[in-house]
Amino acid sequence: MPRTSREVVFVDGVRTPFGKAGEKGMYAQTRADDLVINCIRELMRRHPELPPERVEEVAIAATTQIGDQGLTLGRMASLLSGLPNTTPGYSIDRMCAGAMTAVTNIAGAISFGSIDVAVAGGVEHMGRHPMGEGVDPNPRVVAEKLVDPSALVMGKTAENLHDRYPTLTKERSDEFAVNSQRKLAQAYEDGKIQPDLVPTATRHTDKGWGLATADEPPRPQTTLESLQSLKTPFRPHGKVTAGNAAGLNDGATACILAAEETAQELGLPVGMRLVEFAFVGVEPEVMGYGPVPAAEKALAKAGLTIDDIGLFELNEAFAVQVLAFLENFGIADDSDKVNRYGGAIATGHPLASSGVRLMTQLSRQFAEDPSVRYGMTAMCIGIGMGGAVIWENPHHADYGKEN
């Protein structure tokens, strides 16, 4: 039988508050798998119209797939979150774009008609499992000069990006970072972030039991002056600091995806429709540039231009990486189209989980602003890649019509 593709929609997404990695972080003694299980349970609680047996797949990403982030995490999370044992699951690793890839993989299965409803997400507990733990990179990748040694250290790739594009100054990076902190603080004040968060139980040797209800990394009092004095750990007299980059964080995300017709059947809300996506490879030494060609490819496949995109959720692994994207497309550093609620510099970036945070926030902004038809979530990816996903706003007057 010939198959026709189906429309895929993002129903809803949630996340834990993001924590600081390390012994003093709020999730220091919380299991990684429990973080993502909490997200899945909350999604099912929020959507009683979705029978658990209708969830046909659980795809969960983690960059470091060992310990409590291993053992086919998607399947384990499915079982432990209360879904029936008939629901399968699997794990994904595309470093920072793990959750983004979980979403696009699931979308492919839904579009093909193999499944109707699924959960996708990601988790990273960088306190328990630092990036690179237990890995053994093949020495030929450097010995045979396939990449420069700096390609294996993300902070050094950000310094390389500054080198390649001298107009992307440290001053611009610091200003962008201050704005990220300011916008997140304003979003909290306006109640924009709280609906996404799943209160999460914590336990700490010194503090006892607690409840995480807000992100731990933000530094709302950040000023340009305070950033100027920070050390540049990746290079003497460099431009990348702890202030203009995302930190080391713990956290999890999850979302519900469905065929549009199934969402209508079950009465599930439609947050946004997936239009197109693309992943590309770039020189690993400047991996932060990855979102540029990824966006260009996705736009070309969708028959759209950058001017058609009214909202952007760009992952702020490093300020310079976002600035490279904005400069390439002629978008102002302080554009109101970009990261309206702040970004990872303020919120945190628990690697494989971040893609769904971007999507959940874009979906919320679509509901607030029906005048915007298309939005994009995009991010750079370690070892020289980029990913971009284009979404359509169901609240727009022309939703679903041909361009």
Rounded Cα–Cα distance for residues 187 and 340 (Å)? 8
- Rounded to a whole number, what is the largest CA-CA distance in the chain? 65
Amino acid at 333: D
Dihedral (Cα; 356, 114, 402, 265), 10-degree rounding: -80
Give the residue from 300, 291, 299 showing the smallest Cα distance to 339. Answer: 291
CA end-to-end distance (rounded Å), the chain:
30
Return the CA Rg of the chain. Answer: 20
Reading the block at residue 125, the tokens are 């507990």
313, 253 in Cβ contact below 8 A?
no
Reading the block at residue 342, the tokens are 């702040």
Handedness of CA 85, 50, 98, 198 (dihedral sign): negative
Whole-angstrom CA distances from 115 to 58, 146, 360 are: 11, 40, 22
Count CA atoms closer than 13 A to 168's CA, side-chain side. 27
Three-state DSSP at 42 gives helix
Point out the residues that are catalytic.
96, 349, 380
Reading the block at residue 49, the tokens are 């119209």
